[in-house]
Structure 1
Amino acid sequence: MNPVIEFIESGVLELYVMGVASPEEVRAVEDMAAAHPEVKEEIEQIRLSIEHYAQVHAIKPRSTVKTLIMATIDYLERMKQGELPESPPILTPESRISDYEKWLNKKEAVLPEDADGLYARIIGYTPKSTTAIIWVKERSEVELHHDEYERFLILEGTCKFTTGNKIQNLTAGDFLEIPLHTPHHVEVTSDTPCKAILQRLSLDKEEAC
């Protein structure tokens, strides 16, 4: 067999493109690619095939995941810049909007003009709870939680919350807790974004068992 064809069919080019080839294999591939155009072309074809496969089978993350990841990065950066960590009150059915005025009155607690349909700003974190101000412009994607409780206190606007088969119309001052293992989503019913305090509470060890 032609040694170049044999080299191409050996599988080492795939390892090279995926970044898992050994140093010796990397040197061999690069030497062969420099000496043989067909090897270089095959490497490019393998790279394109892998990229195509990844795009076809990619799973788009929920917008909520992206929003909270970005909010977490922002929160950590603020901590690095000297902002002190705080622990906002735990949300309960008795909670009032005034309980969170300290955080709501900060000049940074506003919806950026270029924000997407869902935006969040974390205002407190402890091992037990994460608290954020959120804005929803139109609707959220369906999600459910198995290891944390999710609670809301509506601040501005109105929305329709679908939790399982139950639909609730909420307005400023309303509290809602999402049961575990229950699909839920929100649809904004006001002309302005629905603004709320969002709090996620981790399960106790006994509850998680």
Structure 2
Amino acid sequence: MTNPITEYTESGILELYILGELTPAEAEEVEQMATQHPAIRQELEVIQENLAQYALAHAVAPPALAKSLFLATVDYLERLKNGEPAATIPLLNEHSRVTDYAEWLNRPDLTLPPGVKDLHIKIIGYTPEVTTAIAWLIDEATNEVHHNEYERFLVVEGTCTVTSGPDLIYLKPGDYYAVPLHTPHAIEVTSEVPCKVVIQRVAV
């Protein structure tokens, strides 16, 4: 004869409870059963631990750019909320000069904090069509492809090499580069100091 406790633990209801998939009445029943039967309470703990281990084993770390952009967006919104006026930023082009962005590059709050290991971004302007930021790249930026926006940047400090399709582009302070659409590209820092750039993404 099947043990009713074993039957209950093998029914799948405990997994559904851990995942939050039960109705309030079903969840209350599980909690009552766990209170009354140590074996059910223990099985719940085992299932929870197994699911946690599975999640850790299969977790995918977000790309450094996604994390940095998210943090930069939060920072920018906080600055606007605290009274920073929305700025009109000059569009980057082949005639742009570092001095065109001195107003933002010289701000003491728009600097690279200590301890950054990959990428740091400070947004300085946003419209639905154009996002402009100051970015510090410590080591490299892995392959990206843009289909719906142009990426342009102007090197402020440091040097880097851009691999854009089959081409290698060597950039130093004052150099401007526009990434072609639909072209895989990556950036490698070639200086001892981080490569600091003004970067702009313009919707197509």
Pairwise same-fold verdict (TM > 0.5)? yes
Give the Cα–Cα distance (whole angstroms) in 1 for the partners of residues 59 and 202 of structure 2.
30
Give the Cα–Cα distance (whole angstroms) in 1 for the partners of residues 203 and 117 of structure 2.
27
Percent identity for Structure 1 against Structure 2? 47
Q: CA deviation at 1:2?
A: 2.0
- TM-score, with length taken from structure 1: 0.92
Q: CA deviation at 1:94?
A: 1.4
The answer (yes or no) to whether the contact 1:153–1:173 under 8 Å persists in 2 is yes
Match of 1:23 in 2: 24
Match of 2:124 in 1: 123
Q: Pairwise CA RMSD of aligned residues?
A: 1.3
Instruction: Give per-residue Cα distances to partners, 1:92-114, cap 9 Å, x unaligned.
Output: 11111111111112111211112
Instruction: Give per-residue Cα distances to partners, 1:103-143, cap 9 Å, x unaligned.
Output: 11211121111223211100000010110000111212222
Match of 1:207 in 2: none
Give the Cα–Cα distance (whole angstroms) in 2 for the partners of residues 40 and 111 of structure 1.
50
Give the Cα–Cα distance (whole angstroms) in 2 for the partners of residues 71 and 17 of structure 1.
34
Match of 1:150 in 2: 151
Give the Cα–Cα distance (whole angstroms) in 2 for the partners of residues 156 and 68 of structure 1.
21
Match of 1:62 in 2: 63
Give the Cα–Cα distance (whole angstroms) in 2 for the partners of residues 116 and 79 of structure 1.
27
Give the Cα–Cα distance (whole angstroms) in 1 for the partners of residues 29 and 74 of structure 2.
41
Moved segments of 4+, more than 6 Å: none
Q: CA deviation at 1:56?
A: 2.2
- TM-score, with length taken from structure 2: 0.94
Match of 2:111 in 1: 110
Aligned pairs, number: 203
**Equivalent position amino acid for 1:166 in 2:** D
Instruction: Give per-residue Cα distances to partners, 1:125-183, cap 9 Å, x unaligned.
Output: 00101100001112122222222211111111111111122111001111111122322
